[in-house]
Amino acid sequence: MSKDGVNTSRRTFLIGLTSAVGAVGAVGLAVPFVKSWQPSARAEAAGAPVTIDIGKLEAGQRVVREWRGQPVWVVRRTPEMLDGLRSLAEGGALRDPDSSVDTQQPAYARNEHRSIKPEVLVLIGTCTHLGCSPTYNPRPTVQLEFGGFFCPCHNSTFDFAGRVYRGVPAPTNLVVPPHSYLDDDVIIVGSEEGETA
């Protein structure tokens, strides 16, 4: 106790105790605030890579999965579908036959078939005009001489490599997402951790 009757040890103890309680309270308030910066499990799942088993996918068939809220199409192309790609590129029917817009596909898909393996096509299934989902036409139709994808909203047409035809509203080819092969039958969309060549 000091000369003026003040208990300094008690005052020091109370100041320390108050500071400790304040620090615990600040941490208690900060934890939920900092935790709110982390993405939710739903948000993480929406952006997470998606594996697709194509082992039972027959020639000419398409499978649809969702990745980042968008439909992903995987088509096992037939030899006739691949032959049609060459004919269209040579015939001048396509707006961008060489896939010159870099953002439309990864570097390993900048080839005539826009894929890692010629027989397997992986695309984001939304039209590049207004985001509609085109229909899959495995056989030739009035709109598609060799078959392909047709967007009925505004008549945009795409071949079996997702390349856009000339004279339609869609400005660019369909997007090829980043993807790779974990093995011969499993594709992982959204990750290039597997084989890309």
Question: DSSP string of 3-61?
Answer: TTS--HHHHHHHHHHHHHHHHHHHHHHHHHHHHTTSPPHHHHHHHS-EEEE-TTPPTT-
176 confidence band (pLDDT: 50, 70, 90): very high
The residues that bridge with 82 in the sheet, in sequence order, are none
Structure tokens at 90: 């040579």
Domain assignment present for residue 196? The answer is no
Range of the domain at 6: 1-38
Domains identified in the chain, total number: 2
CB proximity list for 154: less than 8 A, separation 6 or greater? 127, 129, 130, 132, 168, 169, 170
State residue 63's pLDDT score. Answer: 96
Instruction: Quick: pLDDT tens for 21-65.
Output: 888 888 888 877 777 776 666 655 567 899 999 999 999 999 999
pTM of the model: 0.73
Domain assignment present for residue 100? The answer is yes
Are 94 and 112 contained in the same domain?
yes
Provide the mean pLDDT of the chain.
86
